[in-house]
Each structure stands twice: as structure tokens, then as C-alpha cells.
Amino acid sequence: MLACPIKAGNCGIFVALSMQITNTDQQVPIYSLEHDPVMGGKLFSMAKFEGALTHQGELLVPHRKDYYLLVFARQGNSRHWVDMTPYMTRDNTFYIFGPHQLTVKEEPKPMWGTALGFTREFLALQENASLVKLPLIRNPHNAHELLLSDADVAFTEEILQKLHSEYLRTGDWQQRMVAAYLTVLLTYLSRLYTEQFENNPASTDKLLLKKYQQTIEEHFRELHQVSEYASLLHVSAGHLSEVVKVQSGKPAIVHIHERLVLEIRRLLFHTQYSLKEIAFDLGFTDASYFSRFFKRQTGVTPAEYRAITREMYQ
């Protein structure tokens, strides 16, 4: 049984609120990187904390983020919740927050460390495409806390310092240098992730989630329905949907949609294909439905997204 994170007398209210919001996703606010008061950035952002009280506006507000947030906690002692599991921040520990995880920050306490935030659009850029496949980013074990040895801490701090220096610089080489240091950091942490989690036997449900994600990667162009993947995995659509929701924190159909959107973004940014050509390549028989699907998922039409991203990187 989870210990109550709130003062005595308020535990029931907190748990009831969290359960209610977990079961009704439409009521949960979703925070973007661009509007984050601490991080603030369109595709990638970085912040260092030296005794700061971070994200006080999020206190006791169950919410989701639409970006990846990675935090190296050099020193801290606050408590937060991720998908209904409480964590007390530990010194010299790396924390992983994935898009759409339900998060609750409990109390304002000083924090020393470094935070990195980046969006799916950032991972869709050609120079960052390989990062999507790293264990730390895929996070098949739904891990949140990565323990570091003294040697790991030294390496992580060194790379974070170099990454932060490049982040603050301007010039033609800044983007390449940031991508290079970020690749080194996430690759190193992915090795630690594998050592800490992948050697532990995974449950049957976790294995099913992993197989589902791998099958989406192989067939997302032609298969867009959960039932189609259930047939390939030899399970019922209902069972697959239930397991995927419990293990990942989001509906099975969302995994399919997110992979489609990621590929659409890549093709819009990196190719000259027309919208009809992209739609056909990804299995959409109706170009107008393709546009409506993308706008429903991102808030902008494919044409608007192409114009915005190319203007941003000219």
C-alpha cells in the first residue's frame, strides 16, 4: 500500500483525485515544453538548478507533459508521483519522465542539478533520428529512476557541462554540437538502463507491450488498428488494449498514432513529397482524412507544420 504523500487528513482526497483524473484523461492538463516557465523552448531546452524551487506552479496538480524531461538530481529531497507511484528524489540519480506519464509534484524543496527537455519533433530531426531507438527513450520497462555510481556521476556531470556550454552558444555549429553531446549522454545512460533493468526478467505483460511496440515499428505504414496488431500477436484486441494501457499508461491506439505522427513529421520536414504522396506512403487512402488526422493529433495541418518547421530551421 502506498504511503500517503500529503499531510494527515488529506490522503483520501489526494488518492481520490488522482484516481479520478487517471481514469478520465481529458481532465488532465497537458504541459508543453514551449510554455514551461522553467525550461521554455520549442524543440530542445536545458536548465541548471542551484538550490532553486522548481515548477512550483505544478504543486499537487496531476498533469502530463507532451515532451521528454530528463533530470540529473545532484542534490534534492522532494517527493513526486509518476503514474501513481511515489518517488523521493535521491542525490546523484537520473530521472526519466516520458510524454503523457501522469505526474504530480508534491512539495517545493530546493533542487541542485540539471534538466533536459526535448519534444518528439526534436527526435524527428534527421540528426537525432537514431535516439528514438535507445532504451532510455523507448523505456520498455517504464522505469523512472536510474541509479549512478561515482564514475557514472563524474561522466554524466562532465557531458552535461559540455552540453550546457554549447546550448548557451550561438552559431552555425551549435545544433550539431548539442546533438553530438546529447547522443553521447543518452547512449551512455542507455547502457546503464540496460544493465539495471533488462537483466531482470520481464513480466508477461511487459513482454507483450514490448512486442506490440516492435510490431508497430514494423507495420505502422499499413496497419492502423489495434485489432490488426492483436491478430499478429495472437491475442484478443481487448486483452491487448488492457495490457498496453496498464503497462504504458496510455491507450493502445495512441502508440499507433504517435508512431504515424512521428513519421509524418519526418517526411514533411525532410522530403519534398506532396501531402498526397505522404498520405499514400503511410496507408491513408483519403488525403483529406490524412490532414484531419494530423491536425487532430498536433493542432496544425500538415501544410502548416511543414511551413513552420522549415521557417524555424532556415
Q: Which sequence spans correspond to the domains of the chain?
A: 29-198, 204-312
Q: Does the pLDDT of residue 2 top 60, yes or no?
A: no
What is the model's pLDDT at position 88? 87
Q: Does the pLDDT of residue 18 top 60, yes or no?
A: no
* Average pLDDT of the segment spanning 196-218: 81
Q: Report which of residues 5 and 302 the model is more confident about.
A: 302
What is the model's pLDDT at position 273? 92
Q: Which CATH fold topology does 29-198 show?
A: Jelly Rolls (2.60.120)
**Residue given cell 499478429 in the structure block:** 232
Q: Report which of residues 46 and 206 the model is more confident about.
A: 46
Q: Does the pLDDT of residue 26 top 90, yes or no?
A: no
Supply φ then ψ for residue 273, to 5 degrees: -60, 145
What is the model's pLDDT at position 77? 82
CB 18 within 8 A of CB 84: yes
Q: Report which of residues 244 and 314 the model is more confident about.
A: 244
Q: Does the pLDDT of residue 24 top 60, yes or no?
A: no
What is the model's pLDDT at position 202? 60
Q: Does the pLDDT of residue 112 top 60, yes or no?
A: yes
How many CB atoms lie under 10 A from the CB of residue 272?
7
CB 278 within 8 A of CB 248: no
Q: What mean pLDDT, rounded, does the chain reach? A: 83
* Average pLDDT of the segment spanning 81-86: 79
What is the model's pLDDT at position 57? 65
* Average pLDDT of the segment spanning 237-243: 94
CB 208 within 8 A of CB 233: yes
Q: Report which of residues 226 and 79 the model is more confident about.
A: 226
pTM: 0.60
Q: Does the pLDDT of residue 1 top 50, yes or no?
A: no
47-61, 90-104, 181-195: range with lowest mean pLDDT: 47-61
What is the model's pLDDT at position 225? 96
What is the model's pLDDT at position 234? 92
What is the model's pLDDT at position 167? 92
**Cell numbers describing residue 241:** 488494449
Q: Report which of residues 129 and 10 the model is more confident about.
A: 129
Q: Quick check: helix, strand or coil at residue 51?
A: strand
Label residue 13 by pLDDT band (50, 70, 90): very low
Distance CA 279, CA 295 (A): 13
Q: Report which of residues 182 and 5 the model is more confident about.
A: 182
Measured CA distances, 101 to 22, 24, 85, 221, 253 (Å): 10, 14, 11, 26, 16
Label residue 20 by pLDDT band (50, 70, 90): very low
Task: Please determine, looking at this structure, whether the domain spanning 204-312 carries the CATH number 3.40.50.300.
Answer: no
What is the model's pLDDT at position 3? 32
Q: Does the pLDDT of residue 22 top 50, yes or no?
A: no
In angstroms, how far is CA 210 from the centroid of its own chain? 16
